[in-house]
Structure 1
Amino acid sequence: MSTQPIERKPDWLKIKLATGDNFKELKNMMRGKTLHTVCEEAKCPNIHECWANRTATFMILGDICTRACRFCAVKTGLPTELDLGEPERVAEAAEQMGLQHVVVTSVARDDLADGGASIFAATVTAIRKRLPMCSVEVLIPDFLGNEQSLRTVLEAKPDILNHNVETVERLSDKVRARAKYRRSLELLERSKKIAPSIPTKSSIMLGVGEEWNEILQTMDDLRAVQCDIMTIGQYLQPTTSHLPVTAYYTPEQFAELKGEGMQRGFNHVESGPLVRSSYHAHEQVKSAQQA
């Protein structure tokens, strides 16, 4: 597999900054409602594009994660925050933005008995009340394998249940903290058994040391548990204390992987250097529904 020198980012990873009125308005709204977005906390490269287009991924349950994954820029520590008013404020913000598709994710809250599942469910319900025609996607942690927590989220009837495996099985313990590759697959499989009508989705990032055949095996593993949507993107090192980038994949390689995924039966594959789990999420919903 051909890769680019890791000392310098290739040209296709350059992004265009947009800080117009929509971007500024959305940022002020988030601060005014004391809301967090994974766009900011995880230093997403698409923040300017998405915010300028009035889309965002809300991050609930605070901004301190109980895990310390080696790829993630979100703060780690012992959370002290459990804000029961947060679901309503997220719904208010989504309504003010006039969103047609909302993505709700969270930090990992291993300190909570249900991992924060009840707050996820309350957020979905609050959004549905204010925006009945809006689709809602949840990007959930693994809840340490707690099936009841998963049921709590699914009972709120999100339009998409998203949980990321993040990387290939061989590297999972190195890249992720406490999360287990097989437990993630089990969560996606359980979701299909509990709520077969809700599409499932997962994501991997490339450039942390995986081999091409391992990427294809991950696709096979996800299809084996009937995962409907897959996103594939380039890992970018957020700080020098995080995992280094081992390879930059070309746009052509990402296009090839999209083809591999579609051949395997995914309803939709979003694959590209700057793709993140929530990137073009609304388009993914449409593709999955049409399929």
Structure 2
Amino acid sequence: MSAPATSTKVAAEGGTVSPRPAKPAWIRVRAPGSAAHAETARIVRQHGLHTVCEEAGCPNIGECWAKRHATFMIMGDTCTRACAFCNVRTGMPRPLDPGEPARVAQAAKELGLTHIVVTSVDRDDLADGGSAHFARVIDALRASSPSTTVEVLTPDFLRKAGALETVLAARPDVFNHNLETVPRLYLSIRPGARYFHSLRLLQRAKEIDGRLFTKSGIMVGLGEAREEVMQVMDDMRSAGVDFLTIGQYLQPSPRHAAVQRFVPPAEFEALRQIAVAKGFALVAASPLTRSSYHAGDDFAKLQAARSATQA
């Protein structure tokens, strides 16, 4: 799984331009165009909301929006970090919108979501990292759609004391924070983050609320070695992570980190089997796997796995 190193700095850091390679057949997806997709887009626009589906250029948007599934990205469309893999814009964000939690809740209700994923940009400019805003969104969802289960995909809340506790006090059903890549690549791929801080965040979430499902994901194709991926799996299991996602990194633009390798589907299946053997309750691994892809179905599988273990 390893590959020769390539200079892959983002433009904001003065990096080089890396032309995007042609995608193999197993990566290509059909363009969106269904009536349900258009209706999902209309609801998102009507309520003035952002989705990670659009901002991050997710390849699964056509499939998910056709099923009226959208992953809301709260706290604006501008991130305070400049990760080399991410397509979300970087800069100084606007102040938080106090009306956003209610609009997210109303949009989720109109879409008929039974399971919702809420993520955000990094907000290092806020004293609490935006954790109280996360909690307000969860509260609004609970009030508007009591039967809807809530999954949060949060930033790392680096140097934001008490932020994790604030989010968990609102009692989400799934707490997700992605490690994204192997420790060796953090400096070039995720320079504003710290691997062991992110790992500890996941561990603390489980310590604070044992009934909570915890989830994390990584990308492959960035130059990582197979042994490094397996070590990340072990680290996650030591932190009590229940659900692991593994997907192919896709380069958003020539100014983002270059794809070092397209990993074939058979290797994803091999990684999935290894992860299952290591004790994860659930593993999703495929070229198009993303954190919120099939999240509702996967939540049901997690519940079934826990029930079977308890029985």
Calculate the TM-score normalised by the size of structure 1. Answer: 0.97
Whether the aligned pair in 1 keeps the contact of 2:128 and 2:161 (CA below 8 Å) is: no
Query: Residue 172 of structure 1: CA displacement?
Result: 1.4
**Which aligned pairs between 1:232-243 and structure 2 lie closer than 5 A?**
232-243=246-257
**In structure 2, what is the equivalent of residue 87 of structure 1?**
101
The answer on 1:151 being equivalent to 2:148 is: no
Q: CA deviation at 1:180?
A: 0.7
Residue 40 (str. 1) matches residue 54 (str. 2) = yes
Q: Hey, what's the Cα distance between the residues in 2 that align with 1:2 and 1:109?
A: 33
Residues in 1 aligned to 2:161 and 2:35: alpha-carbon distance in whole angstroms: 43
Shift of 1:18: 2.7
2:225 pairs with 192, 202, 211, which one?
211
Match of 2:308 in 1: none
Unaligned runs of 5+ in 2: 4-19, 306-311
Q: Distance in 1 between matches of 2:201 and 2:159?
A: 7
Q: Structure 2 matches for 1:15-164, cutoff 5 A? A: 15-164=29-178
1:281 maps to: 295
2:10 paired residue number: none
CA distance in 1, matches of 2:182, 2:278: 17
Q: CA deviation digits over 1:85-135, x for unaligned, max 9?
A: 100000000000110100000000000000000110010111111111111
Alignment of 1:270 onto 2:270: no
Aligned partners of 1:145 and 1:183 also within 8 Å = no
- Return the alpha-carbon distance in structure 2 between the equivalents of residues 52 and 214 of structure 1: 36
| Superposed CA offset, 1:129-175 (max 9, x none) | 11111110000001114341100000000000000000001111211
Post-superposition shift, 1:81?
A: 2.9
Residue pair 2:185, 2:224 contacting (<8 A) in 1 also: yes
Equivalent residue, structure 2, for 1:245: 259
SS in 1 for 2:110: helix
1:233-268 CA distances to partner (integer Å, 9 max, x unpaired)?
000000000000000101100011110111011010
Amino acid at match of 2:42: N
Contact 1:65–1:76, Cα closer than 8 Å, also in 2: yes
| Cα distance in 2 for residues equivalent to 1:145 and 1:228 | 25
Bigger RCO of structures 1 and 2 (CA < 8 A, at least 6 apart): 2
**Whole-Å Cα distance in 2 between the matches of residues 94 and 234 of structure 1?**
28
Q: CA deviation at 1:29?
A: 1.4
Partner amino acid, structure 2, of 1:50? C
- Residue ranges of structure 1 left out of the alignment (5+ in a row): none
Structure 2 residue 276 is matched with structure 1 residue 231:
no
- Out of 155, 165, 168, the position equivalent to 2:179 is 165
Query: Matched residues in 2 for 1:46 and 1:134: separation?
Result: 22
Task: For 2:106, give the aligned amino acid.
Answer: E
Contact 1:145 / 1:187 at 8 angstroms: preserved in 2? no
- Is residue 88–residue 123 contact of structure 1 (8 Å, CA) maintained in 2? yes
Structure 2-normalised TM-score? 0.91
Distance 2:197 2:211 in 1: 21
CA contact 2:127–2:160 (8 Å) conserved in 1? no
Q: Which amino acid aligns with 1:99?
A: L
Q: 2: CA distance between counterparts of 1:191 and 1:288?
A: 17
| Amino acid paired to 2:160 | N
Partner Cα separation in structure 2 for residue 2 and residue 148 of structure 1: 38
Aligned length: 289
The secondary structure found in structure 1 opposite 2:158 is helix
Shift of 1:2: 9.2
Partners in 2 of 1:36 and 1:8 — Cα distance? 29
1:47-103: CA deviation from partner (whole Å, max 9, x where unpaired): 010000110100000000000000000000001231011000000000001101000
AA aligned opposite 1:171: L
Q: CA deviation at 1:178?
A: 1.2
